[in-house]
Copies of this chain bind each other. A is one copy, B any other.
Amino acid sequence: MARGVTHERAECPVARAVDVIGDRWSLLIVRDAFDGITRFSDFQRNLGLAKNILASRLRDLTAAGILEAVPAAEGSAYRKYTLTEKGRELFSLIVAIRQWGEEYLFEDQEPHSVLLDTEHERPLRRLEVVDSTGRALTSSGTFVRKVSHGDARS
């Protein structure tokens, strides 16, 4: 995306990823795409954002391979935006955002939308960070190993 600093060549996967999806509108467009929204006008109505901003975000997400745009019907001028596999793999990220929001941004009895599984219609489990043996971890049980090299970018 066109901004001052880019992390396109960063060695940290978090840095590269936030360049692509670290933007609230992009995240909400992806959320809406998971909810089955495909058309420009429906994104626009649901998100209430300016058309030029929506168009720019849809273009960026398509260029990044997260959405793909196809004609809504044969010969139609309208385009439909759907998630690619790369986009669908953002599901755990959207679920992580949702679960954190549910936990910290609502009062106890305050109603909010809920994500349910279609089979039992029950809320999902909290996401758990686990090590290679399946043991649950918090951040204090982890560390980041940087790339070691002589010829490196920092």
Contacts and interface: CB of A to CB of B under 8 A. Distances in A.
Interface in A127-149: 127-135, 137-139, 141-147, 149
Given A117-B141, A119-B141, A100 B104 contact: no
Interface residues of A, number: 78
B98 A138 contact: no
A88 to B, nearest CB: 6
A27 B18 contact: yes
Contact of A144 (B93, B113, B125, B134): B113
Contacts of A114: 144-145
A129 B17 contact: no
Contacts of A131: 117, 119-120, 122, 124-125
Contacts of A111: 11, 147, 149
A28 B48 contact: no
Given A18-B27, A125-B130, A96 B98 contact: no
Contacts of A98: 13-14, 17
Interface in A96-113: 96-106, 111-113
Interface of A: 5, 11-24, 27-28, 31, 34-35, 48-49, 65, 86, 88-106, 111-125, 127-135, 137-139, 141-147, 149
